[in-house]
């Protein structure tokens, strides 16, 4: 994706809604700003956020551009394991 945006008088740039939706960006999130002195490239990188599922802000990983906390990952892993285990007793054939 490529967008052309104008810098406001206050020095702000609004991120397009398509980017905010795709990466689950919420108002109030913090970003680090890095500037490459050689070519002038400016990079924004999320420095703080919340888990997509429980809004926890501790032990976060990024999965497909979204934050997920370690606890939710463990719950999802356990849930998937239980479902696979229970399906094996129902006579379902996995393709």
With a pLDDT cut of 90, the percent of the chain lying above it is: 40
CATH number at residue 3: 2.10.260.10
Query: Do residues 39 and 53 both lie within one domain?
Result: no
Length reported for the chain: 95
Alpha-carbon 22 to chain mean position: 9
Which tens digits make up the pLDDT trace of 25-60?
A: 888 888 889 999 999 999 998 877 788 899 888 888
Whether residue 61 is found in the same domain as residue 72: yes
pLDDT digits (tens, 9 = 90+) for 57-70: 888 888 887 889 99
Mean of the per-residue pLDDT values of the chain: 84
Instruction: For Cα atoms 87, 68, 27, give the angle at the middle one, nearest 5 degrees.
Output: 135
59/76 same-domain check? yes
Residue 68 contacts residue 51 (beta carbons within 8 Å): yes
Q: Has residue 82 got a pLDDT over 90?
A: no
Same domain, yes or no, for 10 and 28? yes
CB 21 within 8 A of CB 2: no
| Domain carrying residue 16 | 1-48
Residues 44 and 67 in one domain: no
Specify the pTM: 0.53
Same domain, 54 and 38: no
- Look at 81 and 21; give whichever has higher pLDDT: 21
Q: Residue 91: pLDDT above 60?
A: no
């Amino acid at each position: 994706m490529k967008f052309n945006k104008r810098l406001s008088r206050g020095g702000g740039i609004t991120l397009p809604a398509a980017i905010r939706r795709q990466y689950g960006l919420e108002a109030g999130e913090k970003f680090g700003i890095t500037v490459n002195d050689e070519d002038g490239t400016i990079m924004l990188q999320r420095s703080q956020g919340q888990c997509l599922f429980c809004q926890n802000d501790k032990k976060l990983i990024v999965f497909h551009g979204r934050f997920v906390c370690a606890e939710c990952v463990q719950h999802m892993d356990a849930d998937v394991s239980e479902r696979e285990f229970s399906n094996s007793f129902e006579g379902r054939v996995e393709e």
